[in-house]
Amino acid sequence: MELGASWLRKNAEHIVKAAIEASGDPRFELPIRAVTAELLSDLEALRPLDTACLSAAGASASQITSILRAMEHQCIDLLWKEWAGSPHCQCVAGLRRRLRQSLKRRLPGPASLAFFQSLLDGKPDATPPAPEPGRIYHLFENVMSSLRDMVYLHDFEGNILYLNRRGLAMTRYTREDLAEGLSIDDFVVPQYADVVEDRLQATGGFAKAPFTIEIFAKDGERIPVEIGARLLIENGKATGVLGIVRDLRLERRLENEIRRSNAYWESLLGNAPMGVLIADRDGVIRDANAAAASLCGAAVAENLFGQSVHSIAEHDDRKVRAALRLVVRSRKRLRLRIALKTRYGVRMQCDFTVCPLCGSRGEVEGILILIIDMAEQMAIQHNLLHVERLSALGEIVGGVAHELNNPLTGILGYAQLLQQHCPDIPLRGRLARIEEEAQRCKRIVHNLLSFARQQPSTKRRQDINSLLREMVEFREYQLFVDNVELTMSLAPDLPEIEVDAQALQRVFLNLLNNAHQAMLSVSDRPRALSLSTKLVEQNIHILFADSGPGIPEHVQARVFDPFFTTKPPGEATGLGLSVCYGIVSEHGGHILLESRPDEGATFTVVLPTHPPRNRNLQIDRIAPPG
């Protein structure tokens, strides 16, 4: 009680302003402040408030009543807006009791009080003089007419004795129909007849809870209703059954509408492309969708219910806790980016948008949290940065390769000149070896320049075997250093086909690098890489077969997906095979993958000798034999 009174005293100015506004005259401010101070000084006092100062200031009786009512309503609003329920219910009750004593009322006449009091007591004959039957009848008619429910009375034979006007309108019967005779059998739908019969026969059955059935209207419409009935007692004897029937059609429509609305909400929540959490003002999760569960690593959304939002993290996240408190306190939306490991072992990189859910009075009743997965976007940003670095590296490599051309040209020139003027045959052999290696270096530099140079995509007829040999020269030495035995079996009768040589070499180099890296983890058997080509009908097959650990079956379905990689973060972008996928399909071809655990993997690039004009993207995966 004292807590409520203290709160009202702190907000006395709001009470005064509401009272002045209700009075309609600012001249009453001083007496209103005096009356307010008296009220708040002792809410439980049993004496009425002294309103003489208001009368002296010229306030009429109706104005004083308006002022006191405004004060009452403002006090109630202040208390319930800040605290709902006990102990402030007692404070409100005490406040209203004192204000009620202070209001001037006009009481009804003694005769009216006695009449209605006798009806309330249930003994109209005990209070002399007895109420006139006409007055009771008119009261009964007014009550029956004002009811929105159907009221009926029937005897124990089931004959309808009375229907109020609402009942006649609901069932579309008339007074004439009632006069000709109606039975409860005319109303009750047959499948509910047993329910009604049991109620009639059961002792005290009509004192039980209301029951729900369906009744027929005059035109046959089935109306769902809820019936509450009791025995009608006259002179100590049961003479019939009195019932009240509530029409459930509107309620059923509202239930269906609510059901559809809930289904729509659940569908919206379930199919939202972002995680959605709904928590109370303390941050305890009350609802969540499947996307939120997936982002947090929970098996199902229900696993998150009852947990605090900040406790989803493996270690209680103070940043999330502080954000929730700030939203509740400021009632403003907040957005923050969070990277953490959840208690389910999943790493989250997400944008959290935290919104307050406010009630009708403006108070925060809950919190809405929208979670957007930023892992893919951050990976794209990282890969764009990586691409920029590669582009810069390509320019550097091109420049270095260009600078190497000058000394290589000198080496070749001097080697050839010395061979012409050297009479020593063994020495001339060594000079020839120098020339051969210098020519090899020149070819590598030429390939580097071609690979690094940004050129528009141009397709010309090329020999696939020659492109493979040029590509192998890039990696031949490193394969030798890592003990990888390279074998090449190139079909001599391959036709030249129209391809972008630079793009296709990039595909071959990527597939060779992947095979090379896969075999580095093999130590219990020889590391063997086989490159082969063959002509199959109207297609050229280029096979890259390694003796590495193989690719698990569940991974094979995703190896060509952008940004998918099985390597640790930072070691790969997950774009290599995806780029190969796009380049090969651009040439009208496709890629075959065949792999079994511990038996290596074989990637086959299939290129048509005559690419079709309509080149659709395609990937086939060959299932392991057996």
- Could you read off the pLDDT of 270-304 as tens digits, one per residue? 788 788 988 988 889 888 888 888 888 888 888 88
Q: Mean pLDDT check: name the lowest of 9-18, 115-124, 164-173, 529-538.
A: 115-124
> What is the set of domains in the chain, with CATH numbers?
2-102 (no CATH), 147-247 (3.30.450.20), 273-373 (3.30.450.20), 379-452 (1.10.287.130), 460-621 (3.30.565.10)
Average pLDDT of the segment spanning 101-130:
65
Distance, in Å, from the CA atom of 306 to the CA atom of 397, rounded to the nearest integer, reads 58
Q: Which contacts qualify for 379-383: CB closer than 8 Å, 24 or more apart?
A: 379/563, 379/574, 380/563, 382/573, 383/563, 383/573, 383/574, 383/575
Average pLDDT of the segment spanning 311-328:
80
pLDDT of residue 570: 47
Return the structure tokens found at 97: 């009791």
pLDDT of residue 216: 92
Using an 8 Å Cβ cutoff, are 333 and 354 in contact? Answer: yes
Distance, in Å, from the CA atom of 13 to the CA atom of 36, rounded to the nearest integer, reads 9
Cis amide bond preceding 87, omega within 30: yes
User: Which residues, 6+ apart, have CB-to-CB distance to 571 below 8 Å?
Assistant: 565
Distance, in Å, from the CA atom of 241 to the CA atom of 608, rounded to the nearest integer, reads 91
Return the structure tokens found at 476: 């031949």
User: Greater confidence, 137 or 463?
Assistant: 463
User: Greater confidence, 189 or 108?
Assistant: 189
pLDDT of residue 551: 83
User: Greater confidence, 150 or 402?
Assistant: 150
Residue 433 buriedness (CB in 10 A; 0-12 / 13-18 / 19+) = exposed
Beta strands at 160-163 and 211-216: parallel, antiparallel or unpaired? unpaired
pLDDT of residue 616: 41
Using an 8 Å Cβ cutoff, are 222 and 228 in contact? Answer: no
Has residue 204 got a pLDDT over 90?
no
Distance, in Å, from the CA atom of 480 to the CA atom of 582, rounded to the nearest integer, reads 31
The single-letter DSSP state of residue 226 is E
Has residue 227 got a pLDDT over 50?
yes
- Could you read off the pLDDT of 482-534 as tens digits, one per residue? 888 989 999 988 899 988 888 888 888 888 888 888 888 888 888 999 999 99
Residue 545's pLDDT band (cuts 50, 70, 90): very high
Residue 625's pLDDT band (cuts 50, 70, 90): very low
Return the structure tokens found at 540: 């050229």
What does pLDDT average to over the chain?
Answer: 80
Has residue 177 got a pLDDT over 50?
yes
- Could you read off the pLDDT of 423-448 as tens digits, one per residue? 777 787 888 888 877 877 776 676 56
% of the chain residues with pLDDT over 90: 12
Both ends of the chain: CA-CA distance in Å?
A: 82
The single-letter DSSP state of residue 10 is H
Looking at the DSSP bridge assignments, the partners of residue 188 are 215
Highest mean pLDDT among 191-200, 306-315, 523-532, 574-583: 523-532
Return the structure tokens found at 411: 């080496």
Using an 8 Å Cβ cutoff, are 453 and 398 in contact? Answer: yes
Could you write out the three-class secondary structure of 367-423?
Answer: EEEEEEECHHHHHHHHHHHHHHHHHHHHHHHHHHHHHHHHHHHHHHHHHHHHHHHCC
Return the structure tokens found at 64: 């004083």
pLDDT of residue 321: 80
Has residue 99 got a pLDDT over 70?
yes
- Could you read off the pLDDT of 44-63 as tens digits, one per residue? 777 888 888 988 888 888 88
pLDDT of residue 621: 39
Average pLDDT of the segment spanning 592-598:
84
Looking at the DSSP bridge assignments, the partners of residue 334 are 354
Using an 8 Å Cβ cutoff, are 144 and 232 in contact? Answer: no
Has residue 572 got a pLDDT over 80?
no
Return the structure tokens found at 219: 């035109």
pLDDT of residue 446: 66
This prediction's pTM: 0.42
pLDDT of residue 170: 92
Has residue 582 got a pLDDT over 70?
yes
pLDDT of residue 550: 86
Residues in the chain: 626
Residue 128's pLDDT band (cuts 50, 70, 90): low
Nearest one of 232, 231, 196 to 212, comparing CA atoms: 196
Beta strands at 460-462 and 364-373: parallel, antiparallel or unpaired? unpaired
Q: Is 592 helix (H, G, I), strand (E, B) or coil?
A: strand
Looking at the DSSP bridge assignments, the partners of residue 222 are 216
Q: Is 17 helix (H, G, I), strand (E, B) or coil?
A: helix
The single-letter DSSP state of residue 24 is T
Using an 8 Å Cβ cutoff, are 546 and 579 in contact? Answer: no
Has residue 355 got a pLDDT over 50?
yes
108, 449, 564, 615 from 558: Cα distances, Å: 86, 33, 7, 22
Could you write out the three-class secondary structure of 87-127?
Answer: CHHHHHHHHHHHHHHHCCCCCCCHHHHHHHHHHHHCCCCCC
Distance, in Å, from the CA atom of 55 to the CA atom of 62, rounded to the nearest integer, reads 11
Has residue 376 got a pLDDT over 50?
yes
- Tell me which H or E stretch contains 540: strand 539-546
